[in-house]
Amino acid sequence: MHLRQMASNGMCALAVLIIAAGSASAQAGRETFKATATVKTASAATTTAPVTITVDRKMSEREAETLKAAFTAGGAAALRKALVGVAPTGSLQLGGGAPTPTRLTIERPTDKGRLLTIVTDKPVLFLGAGVPGAKPKEGYDFAVVDLEIDATGAGSGTLAPAAKITLKQGAFTVEDYASELVKLTGVTLVK
- Read off the pLDDT of residues 72-111 as tens digits, 9 standing for 90 and up: 899 888 988 999 888 999 999 999 999 999 999 999 899 9
Do 17 and 187 meet the contact criterion of CB atoms below 8 Å apart? Answer: no
pLDDT level of residue 113 (50, 70, 90 thresholds): very high
- The predicted-structure confidence for 129-181, as pLDDT tens digits, reads as follows 877 778 888 889 999 999 999 999 999 999 999 999 887 765 568 889 888 88
> Residue 42 belongs to what H/E stretch?
none
Q: For residue 116, list its beta bridge partners.
A: 107, 147
21-37 mean pLDDT: 71
Reported as a pLDDT band with limits 50, 70 and 90, residue 12 is: very low
Dihedrals phi, psi of 32, to nearest 5 degrees: -125, 130
Q: Is the pTM of this model over 0.85?
A: no
Report whether 182 contacts 161 (CB < 8 A). Answer: yes
Helices (H), the chain: 14-21, 61-83
**What's the confidence (pLDDT) of residue 72?**
86
